[in-house]
Structure 1
Amino acid sequence: MATIYISLGTNIEPHKHLGAGLVELQQYFGKLALSRVFESEPVGFNGTNFLNMVAAAQTELPIAEVVAIFKQIEQDNGRIRGEKKFSPRSLDIDLLLYDDVICELPVSLPRGEILYNAFVLWPMAEVAPELTHPIAGKTYAQLWHEYDKPSQQLWPVEFTFPEQLTL
C-alpha cells in the first residue's frame, strides 16, 4: 500500500469544485488526511485568488492509474485539457508524492512545485510535517520553516467541507 500526497487548487467556483473533488477522491481512495484550505494569489498570471490544499491517501494502484483518476476528476469538474499553464482552473489535482518514488514517467515525482510554491509546501507541511522530501533530504516542516514566505501571499481560510466527506 502506497501513501500518496495530492495537491488540489481551484479559482473557478472554488468552494463547489474543491468540495466535489474531495468527495470524488474519497470515493476512489477512501479516507483522506487533509490540510487546512489556503487562499493564495495566482502565480504567473493576473486573476482571482485560488483555494489550495493537500490531501493524503492510501492506494494499491500504480502511479499511472492514480494520475488517470485525477484527470477524470478534473474533467468531471469542468477542467478543459490544453489550457494555458498559468490560467484559471475549475480544479487542478496533482500527484505530489507516491511514497518516496523518484521518477520522470508517467509523471515527475516528487513534484517540483513542492519546493517552490507556498500553496503546496505549507499545506504539505501540515499533512506530513515529519516526512522527508526524497530529494531535498529535509522534512516538510523544515522546508516550510526555511521558505521565503514573503515571496508568495498565502493565508488559511475557513472552508465548509461537504457532508459526504468523512473527516
Structure 2
Amino acid sequence: MAQIFISLGSNVNKEHYLRQALIALKAYFPDFIHSSVYESEAVGFAGSNFYNSVVAAKTDMPLAKLCKLLKKIELDNGRTREDKKFSPRTLDLDLLFYDDIICETPAQLPRDEITKNAFVLQPLAEIAPDFYHPVAKLTLAELWNNYYNPQQKLWKVEFSNP
C-alpha cells in the first residue's frame, strides 16, 4: 500500500466544494486522515480567499489511475480544463506524494508547491510531521519550521467533516 497525500483547495463556494471533495475521496479512501482547514489569500492572482487542506491515505491504486481519479473528481465538481493555472476554481486536487516516488509524469512528484506555499506545507506538516521529503531530504516538520514567507498568510477555519 502506498502512502499518499492530496491537497484540496477551493475559492468558489469553497465550503461546499471542499465538502464534496471529502465525500468523493472517502468513497475510495475510507480511512483517510484530514488536516485542519486553512483559509488563505489567493496566490498568483487577485481573487477570493481559498480554503485549503490535505488528506493522507493508503492505497493500492496505481499512480496513473489515482491521477485520473483526482481529475475526474475535479471535473465532477465544476472544474473545467480551460481553467488557467492562476484563476478561481471550484476544486483543485493535487497529489503531493505517492510514497517516495520522484517523477514528472503522470504527475510531478513530490509536488513543487509543497516547499513554496504555506497553504500546502502547514496542513501537510500537521498530519504527517515525520514524513520525509525525498528531494528536500527533510521531514515535513523540519520544512515547516524552516519556512518563511511573510506574504503568505493563512489561518485555521471552523470546518466539520462530512
Write out per-residue CA displacement over residues 15-34 of structure 1, whole angstroms, 9 at most, x where no aligned residue.
11000101100101221111
Q: Which amino acid aligns with 1:123?
A: P
Q: CA deviation at 1:151?
A: 2.8
Q: Report the equivalent of 1:41.
A: 41
What are the within-5 Å matches in structure 2 for residues 9-88 of structure 1?
A: 9-88=9-88
DSSP-derived class of the 1:151 partner: coil
**Structure 2 residue 96 is the aligned partner of structure 1 residue 93:** no
Corresponding pairs, count:
162
Instruction: Identify the residue that residue 161 of structure 2 maps to in structure 1.
Output: 161
Deviates more, 1:124-133 or 1:145-154: 145-154
Q: Which residue of 2 aligns with 1:115?
A: 115
Query: Which stretch of the first structure deviates more once superposed, 27-36 or 3-12?
Result: 27-36
Q: What corresponds to 1:165 in structure 2?
A: none
Amino acid at match of 2:100: D
Unmatched tracts of structure 2, length 5 or more: none
- Which aligned pairs between 1:139-158 and structure 2 lie closer than 5 A? 139-158=139-158
**With structure 1 as the length reference, what TM-score do the two structures score?**
0.95
Write the distance in 1 (CA, Å) between the matches of 2:53 and 2:73. Answer: 16
State the distance in 2 between where 1:32 and 1:149 align.
Answer: 29
Deviations 1:140-166 (A, max 9, x none): 11110110141301111111221xxxx
Residues of 2 paired with 1:128 and 1:161: CA distance? 19
Give CA-to-partner distance per residue, 1:119-145, whole Å, 9 cap, x none: 000001001001110111111111101
Alpha-carbon separation, structure 2, partners of 1:149 and 1:53: 19
Gaps of 5+ in 1: 163-167
Equivalent positions of 1:126-145 (< 5 A) are 126-145=126-145
- For residues 146 and 55 of structure 1, what CA distance do their matches in structure 2 show? 22
Identity of aligned residues (%): 54
Q: Secondary structure at the match of 1:55?
A: strand
